[in-house]
Amino acid sequence: MSVIPFDDRDGFIWYDGALIPWRDAKIHVLSHALHYASCVFEGERVYNGNVFKLTEHSQRLIDSGKLLGFDIPWSLEEIDAATRETVKANNITDGYVRPVAWRGSEMMGVAAQATKIHLAVATWTWPSYFSPEARMKGIRLRISDWKRPAPDTAPTKSKAAGLYMICTMSKHQAEKEGYDDALMLDYRGQIAEATGANIFLVIDGEIHTPTPDCFLDGITRRTVIDLAKKRGLKVVERAIMPEELAKAQEVFLTGTAAEVTPVSEIGPYRFTPSDISRMLIEDYDVLVRGPVAVA
């Protein structure tokens, strides 16, 4: 299987105020972000040419930058407009969007008050890979050896690049052992999230999900909670210990990439994706893509 590297593609990337050819979007090897992780980003999906919940994502990007101590020098409205411009320029109908903001190369050291803040927006085609039927098979998760950090040890409410180092390590280990992803516990040993998605447990008809006090309260997470409540389902946000997985009949993940993805296995625990997972998959698909036309 050939892989097209992300630095050698056709198209345009919005970079510091203007669209430029994709291959020209470069940074210097001594950029502060590369050495000290002073970088924040977003992951967004395009459905039928529209970015789902664009303004919420743009606002979170701004907020993440502030948590890392820098202001992105473009307004919320300008970031929204740049994203739409990039999607249009690349003729994206169904795809993924990656806005990213970072400290530049003016200073090299832990302190970098005088660095320039850069902003780029890239987008590429990313159709839905799985039908609801295929997703209902569920994915397999390994329990990670790494834990999400405490909120007084890292800016856990930001979508910061540095926070994903242990996610990459966890997912690589899971894949090496034949799993699809990893479940991460938090610093207290409670269930937190997968490496890039939030987690929900269905226990006796109720939906339980960890309180996001040391990891991202995902935009897709909040969307699915609203969909569940509209269905009259009870949603409980609380601390959840890993041994409670034994009580769950269904488990599913939510995220920009994951959308709603059922889980069939986490370590020694097994689940059977069923009615609630299917219902929320279908409701989410209708929300983001529109109802399926019936001939």
Q: What is the pLDDT of residues 238-272, one digit of tens each?
A: 999 999 999 999 999 999 999 999 999 999 999 99
List CB contacts of 80: < 8 A, sequence separation 6 or more: 54, 55, 58
Q: What confidence category does residue 291 fall into, taking pLDDT thresholds of 50, 70 and 90?
A: confident
> How confident is the model at residue 294, as a pLDDT?
41
Q: What is the pLDDT of residues 95-125, one digit of tens each?
A: 999 999 999 999 999 999 999 999 999 999 9
> How confident is the model at residue 295, as a pLDDT?
40
Average pLDDT over residues 59-69: 98
> How confident is the model at residue 130, as a pLDDT?
62
Tokens standing for residue 231 = 């269905």
Give the DSSP per-residue string, 221-256: HHHHHHHHHHTT--EEEE---GGGGGG-SEEEEEET
Q: What is the pLDDT of residues 132-188, one digit of tens each?
A: 677 889 999 999 999 999 999 999 999 999 999 999 999 999 999 999 999 999 999
Q: How far apart are CA 196 and CA 184, in angstroms?
A: 10
Q: What is the pLDDT of residues 22-47, one digit of tens each?
A: 999 999 999 999 999 999 999 999 99
Helix (H) or strand (E) holding 19: strand 18-21
Q: What is the pLDDT of residues 215-239, one digit of tens each?
A: 999 999 999 999 999 999 999 999 9
Q: How far apart are CA 40 and CA 154, in angstroms?
A: 13
How many CB atoms neighbour CB 241 within 10 A? 11
> How confident is the model at residue 55, as a pLDDT?
98
> How confident is the model at residue 293, as a pLDDT?
45
Q: What does the mean pLDDT of the chain come to?
A: 95
User: With 60 as the cut, is the pLDDT of residue 292 above it?
Assistant: no
Domains and CATH numbers, the chain: 12-125 (3.30.470.10), 132-289 (3.20.10.10)
Q: What is the dihedral of CA 268, 273, 276, 280, to 10 degrees?
A: 110
> Would you say 188 and 126 are in contact if contact means Cβ atoms under 8 Å apart?
no
Q: How far apart are CA 83 and CA 41, in angstroms?
A: 13
Q: What confidence category does residue 2 fall into, taking pLDDT thresholds of 50, 70 and 90?
A: low
For residue 160, give the DSSP letter.
B
Average pLDDT over residues 79-88: 98
Instruction: Estimate to the nearest angstrom the gap between the alpha carbon of 43 and the chain centroid.
Output: 6
Tell me whether residue 171 is one of the annotated catalytic residues. no
User: With 50 as the cut, is the pLDDT of residue 78 above it?
Assistant: yes
Residue tagged 């097994």 (tokens): 270
> How confident is the model at residue 131, as a pLDDT?
65
200, amino acid identity: F
Q: Which of 66, 137, 147, 159 is catalytic?
A: 159
Tokens standing for residue 201 = 């447990």
259, amino acid identity: E
Q: How far apart are CA 217 and CA 158, in angstroms?
A: 10
Q: How far apart are CA 39 and CA 102, in angstroms?
A: 4
Q: Given the DSSP bridges, would you call strands 139-148 and 259-266 parallel, antiparallel or unpaired?
A: parallel
